[in-house]
Chains A and B, each alone.
Chain A
């Protein structure tokens, strides 16, 4: 599927505004089921995102004051623009971050499938760790 004007491809839905405590901070998109979770997470790490929280069903990562929160079980992603960004510039920053995520999602979907596809993390017996 060709990319649409929003920058999304087949693997990541277009961006839309999500609820947040301040104007235009949080934006939502959804990962396609075909995206390999492990590869996508690796891409985030290689792209400079550091893990803030690892939970069986959840990842929260941060880079340069922006965050990505990812619900593994549903594929929901929330792109969180740093509050220090001028309100008028937040949408553009969110779209830029989204474009990057979309590229990684496409790559993670196109790669040969690995064992243990996306879904709940089976480690740690249900415990969450925040960093």
Chain B
């Protein structure tokens, strides 16, 4: 079996898996924002540790399953498989040169380092390496290749393109092999998600989703390990990485600085704004969308239903429009997303809603639907983002039910702010 065949769409709940590990499409704007939020919450060193640990915890089970599925039996075959999957994911190229006792890993066009320098490099001097995901993935890949338990190798990034070094170099040193991983894989996710619902505009949304899925299936990484679709550079990223880093950060702040919890939760939620603006927005303006669906006219119902279809196509779950009153209110529901299954399996039932991305993405959809002049084909840049989301955001949100709390569906109500 080829590594590309490891990817599957779970069409009912609109989720995606690779070698049984859930994955989603996210662009670098979201990825950098998310990781920066972890760094702001925990500090550079602790955040790198949490992020690389999250990378190992999500990659190790995936790579183990991949080696079984493809029949990769020698360390060389397994390392090559891991590198191929990493590039297919759009994370760049990893040259895995380590062995069972550790060693060096060379990274080229690593997603985080490369895009950090692209986005911020001319304005900000970064001093701390940024490729925690690549580092943790490299550790997991080497552990799986040599049949080692997780935690046997500890990664550190010694040089990073984001820090204006010429290349990214990662070292793997011996660890104690005591990392226990309770994988949140396809089986877990399918047990947690509910029956997909039907909402408004369902047939239009379903048709667009089918088209998107067909298009995305054929997209491959280029020779640099970068993935481009709809004119956007994206990653096929393990959703367990996002979940682990977000929830670990929030729980740590809950324990150590509870007065700061709301601020951190809002920041993780803001990542939903970033994703919808940059990824959904650019997708809607793309030639592919124009060809497959038609030019966006800008009606509120059109934009919101289009966004719901995009969410499904990108593997965010089966979101449905329960209610939409332009200018007033949106009620979005889901029985599947990439947040609550992880939370339920890893932490048990929550005492409060935990779908930060889902809830804030809903708010961002309403902002895009009401405040963007789509027929003028605007440029979705930082200036427009600031004016839409930092100056007079006109919507408030409430996650009125959440599967992380034990409810049978997640629901977010977006309503006009006073």
Contacts and interface: CB of A to CB of B under 8 A. Distances in A.
Interface of A: 17-23, 25-26, 28, 52-53, 55, 57-58, 60, 62, 65, 67, 69-74, 76-78, 80, 83-84, 87, 127-131
A22 B224 contact: no
B389 interface: no
B172 to A, nearest CB: 27
Contact of A84 (B122, B224, B379): B224
Given A18-B285, A55-B291, A78-B231, 15 more contacts: A19-B282, A19-B285, A20-B231, A20-B232, A20-B282, A52-B219, A57-B291, A58-B291, A65-B223, A67-B228, A77-B287, A78-B286, A83-B226, A84-B224, A130-B218
Contacts of B119: 22
A131 B220 CA distance: 8
Interface string B271-309: 000000011011001111011100100000000000000
Chain B residues touching A, range: 35 or more
Interface stretch (B57-65, B209-217, B360-368): B209-217
Interface in B78-118: 109, 114-115, 118
A20 B285 CA distance: 9
A41 B261 CA distance: 56
B286 A17 contact: no
Contacts of A70: 287
Contacts of B318: none
A19 B291 contact: no
A126 to B, nearest CB: 9
* Minimum-distance CB pairs A-B, first 9: A130-B218, A58-B291, A69-B287, A57-B291, A71-B291, A21-B232, A19-B379, A78-B287, A19-B285
B292 A22 contact: no
Given A21-B233, A21-B278, A80-B228, A69 B288 contact: yes
Nearest to B122: A87
Contacts of A22: 28, 115, 118-119, 233
Contacts of B228: 67, 80, 83
A73 B377 CA distance: 18
B29 A58 contact: no
Interface in B308-356: none
B139 interface: no
6 contacts: A18-B285, A19-B379, A21-B279, A55-B292, A58-B288, A72-B291
Most chain B Cβ neighbours within 10 Å, of A20, A69, A73: A20
Contacts of B27: 21
Contacts of B282: 19-21
Contacts of A62: 222
B378 interface: yes
A34 to B, nearest CB: 20
Interface in B15-44: 27-29
Contacts, number: 97
A102 B228 CA distance: 24
Contacts of B290: 71, 74, 76
B231 A21 contact: yes
B414 to A, nearest CB: 25
Contacts of B263: none
Contacts of A76: 287, 290
Given A20-B282, A22-B233, A58-B287, A129 B218 contact: yes
B10 interface: no
Nearest to A78: B287
A58 B295 CA distance: 13
A17 B381 CA distance: 12
B380 interface: yes
A57 B291 CA distance: 5
A65 B286 contact: no
Contacts of A23: 118
Given A19-B282, A21-B278, A65-B222, A128 B109 contact: no
A19 B378 contact: yes
Nearest to A57: B291
Contacts of B211: 128
Given A65-B222, A69-B286, A84-B224, A25 B231 contact: yes
Contacts of A60: 287-288
Nearest to A56: B291
Contacts of A21: 27-29, 231-233, 278-279, 282
A62 B115 CA distance: 21
A62 B232 CA distance: 14
Contacts of B226: 83
Interface string B195-236: 000000000000000010011011100111010100111000
Contacts of B279: 21
B215 A17 contact: no
A127 B222 CA distance: 24
A80 B217 contact: no
Contacts of B219: 52, 130
A76 B289 CA distance: 12
A17 B228 CA distance: 18
Contacts of B118: 22-23, 83, 87
